Amino acid sequence: MTASAEMTEGVYQTLTCAAGNGYPEATVEWLLGGIDITSAQTLNILNNNQMKYTTINQQRYLPRRADNNKVLACVMTRMALGEPVVMNASIVLDVKCELYHLNLDFSMIPSGKVLNHHILFCIVPIL
């Protein structure tokens, strides 16, 4: 699997998983925290001279802050002599966000109290 464990919230990633030199071709699942997120995939099955298949799968993924520390796994399965052969690769996600500091000054409130609020928040890029 090719994917960086460190990702930025709101920035699309292209994840790639490959299994080579097998028969028959593999099926592919992408799991995030154990939940199937397989969608919008491109699956290329190439046949070489020895009648073996190389399966390459690319998945677009949009990281969310809630995905931080979840396990992202690519699971490829081939049937061999009637039995499934499962191959997987996984990473633990490190989803970052850009933190911004906002200072709100409410000193003009009629009660005469001076209220200052400091807020830290993440900004998600508009794509």
pLDDT digits (tens, 9 = 90+) for 64-119: 989 999 999 999 998 888 898 898 899 999 998 766 655 655 555 555 554 555 55
Q: Is 33 helix (H, G, I), strand (E, B) or coil?
A: coil
Please tell me the predicted confidence (pLDDT) of residue 108: 53
- What residues does each domain of the chain span? 6-96
pTM reported for the whole predicted model:
0.71
Structural tokens at position 111: 């009660």
- Decide yes or no: CATH 2.60.40.10 for domain 6-96: yes
pLDDT digits (tens, 9 = 90+) for 35-69: 999 986 667 677 767 778 888 888 889 999 899 99
Q: How many CB atoms lie within 10 A of CB 17?
A: 24
| 37 close to 63: Cβ distance less than 8 angstroms | no
Overall size of the chain counted in residues? 127
Which is more confidently placed, 117 or 6?
6
Please tell me the predicted confidence (pLDDT) of residue 127: 47
* 42: CB partners within 8 A, 6+ apart: 57, 58
